Amino acid sequence: MAHMQPSENKPAVSQYLQEALLVKQGAEARVYRGRFLGKSAIIKERFPKLYRHPSLDEKLTRRRTAQEVRSILRCRKAGINAPVVYFVDYTTNCIFLEEITDSLTVREHIASAQASGQNVEALFGLADRIGQILAKMHDEDVVHGDLTTSNMLLVSDGDGRAGKLVLIDFGLSYISALPEDKGVDMYVLEKAFLSTHPNTEALFERLLKSYTASSKKAPAVIKKLDEVRLRGRKRSMVG
Amino acid sequence: MHLTQDLELFPEQSVTQLLFRDVKNCAELRKMAVEGQIAGALINPSMVLDPFQSLLAANKAVHLEKTGKMKTRSLYSEIIFSLSPTNNISEAFKRFGISDNDNAVLVVLVHNRGDILNMDDIVSKVDGQQIPADQISTLCEVAKIKKLYKLTPQEEKCGSVLDAVVCRMAAKDVV
């Protein structure tokens, strides 16, 4: 019979998070904002999942935390913008990251561009940049795992214009050289893109073109993407 | 002159940093540290770009001490080890701790918050000139740091050298 622990024995990070500001709660993790060593930081807490068997939960959570940190470092080493990792607590599976301020998600950017009546061509420059960055990431054999326009930030550069593109939320990422895995990564993005931003097929096509032009390994990945598109739900069963 | 930062994760504790240049008795200081006569971590300032870097190392060391997961034998040696991008302890001491013929030292103390520190004790042991701890960048050797932390040229496009160093310190356990 488990005994109740007094709150003094709770891990330091858990007590700290009670005072921090909860920004978002997802299925996998809670995201907080707080002060850390004099800076503003984001804390991503992978909380225990009670619906999982405890030993499986522990292993899986720790593995996902480690993979996230590894992928971020790998991306940065290759010149891809991702938030700086300050500190990782493996007892509570919390990652303390740099807070990226003054930014807009690509999702918000596209939505506002469409709302203000701009035509799709105005966003082609952005599509080119995204394609290039994803090509670089896949060339490093990093598969993001959750590519959506909400996981890409546009940081304004001093003059209020859209500056650098930062990838975030590497929680489902892993290292893989397989074109199949990269193809699925692009498929996830395509599905998220087209469902979130109606009438942007030309934009995504432009992104893929930029991706293909920027990566030598792209043809194999695109081939797999085409194959994956033929699978899935509501597909015509004509062989 | 010195810099004190509260550790948000450990409400009873704070970290104070003292920086000295033109130090003539590094050999003696190192001996005192090894014998446990100095209640602080003696760090080679040429490897530290910014007080944030040493703060992070101290934070991590305190965390590992509290969870019983330190790799070295004392909190102060753990602070030095946490600065290193590799898991080789003796290499960390060699590169980030002070050596006999160094001429500058960064002293990092971990103490109870609100304690009125008797820093004169430490200051009197150092035969050198104390300078403001936030001037550590004037003593660091960026080229040496880039080489030891194995920075890539592309990485400098996405952030500062400090960003790259901080990431490696944080990711050390899983790489």
Q: Does A63 touch chain B (CB under 8 A)?
A: no
Q: How many CB pairs under 8 A join A and B?
A: 84
Residue with tokens 């509570």: A92
Of the candidates A34, A38, A86, the beta carbon closest to that of B166 is on: A86
pLDDT in tens, A55-109: 999 999 999 999 999 999 999 999 999 999 999 999 999 999 999 988 999 999 9
Would you state the pLDDT for residue B1? Answer: 87
**Looking at the predicted structure, is the pLDDT value of residue A6 above 70?**
no
Catalytic machinery residues of A: 146
How far is residue A182's CA from residue A134's CA, in Å, rounded to a whole number?
A: 10
Q: What is the 3 state secondary structure string of B50-98?
A: CHHHHHHHHHHHHHHHHCCCCCCCCHHHHHHHHHCCCCCHHHHHHHHEC
Mean pLDDT, rounded, for A6-20: 75
Spatial separation of the C-alpha atoms in residues A121 and A202, rounded to whole Å: 8
Chain segment A44-56, per-residue pLDDT in tens? 999 999 999 999 9
Q: Provide the sign of the torsion angle of the four alpha carbons A146, A17, B9, A12, taken in this order.
A: negative
pLDDT digits (tens, 9 = 90+) for B116-149: 777 888 888 999 999 999 999 999 999 999 999 9
The whole-number pLDDT of residue B89 equals 94
Distance in angstroms (rounded) separating the CA atoms of residues B99 and A147:
48
Q: Has residue B100 got a pLDDT over 80?
A: yes
The residue of chain A with its CA nearest to that of B14 is A37
A100 — contact with chain B (CB < 8 Å)? no
Closest CA of chain B from A237, distance in Å: 45
Residues 6+ apart with CB under 8 A from A113: A122, A123
pLDDT, mean of residues A6-33: 82
Interface residue A86 vs chain B (CB under 8 A): yes
Task: Tell me if B59 and A38 make a contact (CB, 8 A cut-off).
Answer: no
Q: How confident is the model at residue B37 (pLDDT cuts 50, 70, 90)?
A: confident
Question: Per-residue confidence at A5, pLDDT binned at 50, 70, 90?
Answer: very low
What is the reported pLDDT for A18? 85
Structure tokens at A218: 């792209």
The ipTM is 0.93
> Confidence class of residue A162 from pLDDT cuts 50, 70 and 90?
low
B152 → closest Cβ in A72, A77, A86: A77
Confidence tier at A239 by pLDDT (50, 70, 90): low
Instruction: Name the closest residue on chain B to residue A10, using Cα atoms.
Output: B67
Residues in A closer than 8 angstroms to B67, CB to CB, are 11, 91
Q: Name the token pair of A50.
A: 């009670």
Q: In angstroms, how far apart are the furthest CA atoms of chain B?
A: 45
Q: What is the mean pLDDT of residues B25-46?
A: 90
Place of tokens 């930014």: A103
pLDDT of residue A234: 67
State percent of chain A over pLDDT 70. 92
Task: Look at B159 and A37 and tell me if their CB atoms are within 8 Å.
Answer: no
Which pLDDT score is estimated for A167?
A: 96
Given an 8 Å threshold on Cβ–Cβ distance, is A79 in contact with B154?
yes
pLDDT higher than threshold 70 for residue B159:
yes
CB-CB under 8 Å, A85 with B8: no
What the block records as the tokens of A128 is 């080119």
Residue A73 touches chain B, beta carbons under 8 Å: yes
- pLDDT value of position A7: 44
